[in-house]
């Protein structure tokens, strides 16, 4: 088992979907990643920042899930990062209504000493230089660095993004972002171009259409579980990444074959995340539920064909 460092936002979200709306609830990339990774009973630490307005119960929630929160700085006089979004009827597109950076604007991540030798680092979506500063704090080079990012940084910090992409092993990115980053429509060609930027592994997330894992000529595809209803997609991508990183940290095996399984775990956990608002479903997720859904995933995708 490896230690896992998780870097990303811990935040307030307010969400409106066709199914309802919430006031400020618990959100943030590091939150969803941490909750997903906690399914694997590993030693993980969240590195983030919140304001004095952040409820102790939310921090306790992470602690109780065995996520070390000593790397979550509390800026007493500051306010927590806040995002408000509205999902449209198809649940695939959304409008950002409010983004208040607050304490995130001056965030200087500090990795707890006990986690500076972690083998696995999961860099959640943040400014690329913030992500990079975490890598610089590690006492020895991590064996596996996973990075998530988004189109926003391609628009306004592309050079910095390229700097951090050069230093990582796995990038997780959605299909439109992969196209934007490379200028290529074909995801196969886009993955090849991203390989050339540094990462040996490229994970392209396609939302309801699943995810692709590329390692040069090796390709693996995991569908998203077809669901009756997607209640709230917020955090699904981070949950996917957290399941992926958590499984790899747990198994301590960073081969392509094992990454396939990590992708399946990520997809499985993400399928729960979207069933309720925010973190609600992930907070109460039992390992029996996960096992049951893994069976569904197997039935969904596995077939027997005699090949010659």
198 binds its own copies per the rule CB under 8 A? no
By beta-carbon proximity to its own copies, the closer residue of 119 and 261 is 261
| From 20-28, 45-53, 140-148, 183-191, span contacting its own copies (CB under 8 A) | 183-191
Q: Which of 86, 110, 150, 189 binds its own copies (CB under 8 A)?
A: 189
By beta-carbon proximity to its own copies, the closer residue of 57 and 304 is 304
Question: By rule CB under 8 A, what count of residues binds its own copies?
Answer: 38
By beta-carbon proximity to its own copies, the closer residue of 195 and 206 is 206
Identify whether 117 is a catalytic site residue.
Answer: no
Q: Which of 50, 122, 123, 187 binds its own copies (CB under 8 A)?
A: 187
Contact positions with its own copies (CB under 8 A) in 66-125: 89-91
Closest distance of CB 55 from its own copies, Å: 34
By beta-carbon proximity to its own copies, the closer residue of 6 and 211 is 211
Over the chain, what HEC string results? Answer: CCCEEEECCCEEEEEEECCEECCCEEECHHHHHHHHHHHHCCCEEEEEEEECCCCHHHHHHHHHCCEEEEEEEEECCCCCCEEEEEECCCCCCEEEEEEECHHHHHCCCCCCHHHCCCCEEEECCCCHHHHHHHHHHCCCCCCEEEEECCHHHHHHCHHHHHHHHCCCCEEEEEHHHHHHHHCCCCHHHHHHHHHHHCCCEEEEECHHHCEEEEECCEEEEECCCCCCCCCCCCCHHHHHHHHHHHHHHHHCCCCHHHHHHHHHHHHHHHHHHCCCCCCHHHHCCCHHHHHHHHHHHHHHHCCCCCCC
Which entry of 238, 252, 253, 289 is annotated as an active-site residue?
238
Contact positions with its own copies (CB under 8 A) in 205-264: 206, 209-210, 212, 218-221, 223, 226-230, 260-261, 264
Interface with its own copies (CB under 8 A) = 89-91, 185-189, 206, 209-210, 212, 218-221, 223, 226-230, 260-261, 264, 291, 294-295, 298-305, 307-308
């Amino acid at each position: 088992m490896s230690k896992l460092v998780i870097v990303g936002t811990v935040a307030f979200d307010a969400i409106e979907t066709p199914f309802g709306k919430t006031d400020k609830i618990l959100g943030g990339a590091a939150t969803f990643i941490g909750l997903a990774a906690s399914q694997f009973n590993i030693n993980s630490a969240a590195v983030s920042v919140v304001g004095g307005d952040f409820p102790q119960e939310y921090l306790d929630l992470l602690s109780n899930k065995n996520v070390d929160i000593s790397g979550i700085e509390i800026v007493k006089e500051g306010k927590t990062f806040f995002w408000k979004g509205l999902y449209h009827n198809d649940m695939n597109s959304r409008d950002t209504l409010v983004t208040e950076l607050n304490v995130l604007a001056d965030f200087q991540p500090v990795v707890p000493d006990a986690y500076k030798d972690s083998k696995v680092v999961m860099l959640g979506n943040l400014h690329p230089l913030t992500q990079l500063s975490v890598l610089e704090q590690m006492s020895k080079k991590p064996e596996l660095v996973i990075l998530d990012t988004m189109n926003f940084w391609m628009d306004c910090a592309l050079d910095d993004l390229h700097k951090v992409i050069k230093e990582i092993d796995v990038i997780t990115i959605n299909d439109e972002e992969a196209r934007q980053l490379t200028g290529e429509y074909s995801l196969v060609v886009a993955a090849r171009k991203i390989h050339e930027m540094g990462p040996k592994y490229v994970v392209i997330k396609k939302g309801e259409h699943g995810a692709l894992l590329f390692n040069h000529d090796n390709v693996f595809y995991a569908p998203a579980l077809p669901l009756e209803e997607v209640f709230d997609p917020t955090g699904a991508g981070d949950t996917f990444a957290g399941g992926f990183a958590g499984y790899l940290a747990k198994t301590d095996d960073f081969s392509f074959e094992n990454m396939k399984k990590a992708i399946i775990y990520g997809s499985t956990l993400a399928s729960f995340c979207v069933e309720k608002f925010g973190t609600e479903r992930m907070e109460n997720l039992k390992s029996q539920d996960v096992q049951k859904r893994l069976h569904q995933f197997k039935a969904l995708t596995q077939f027997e064909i005699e090949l010659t």
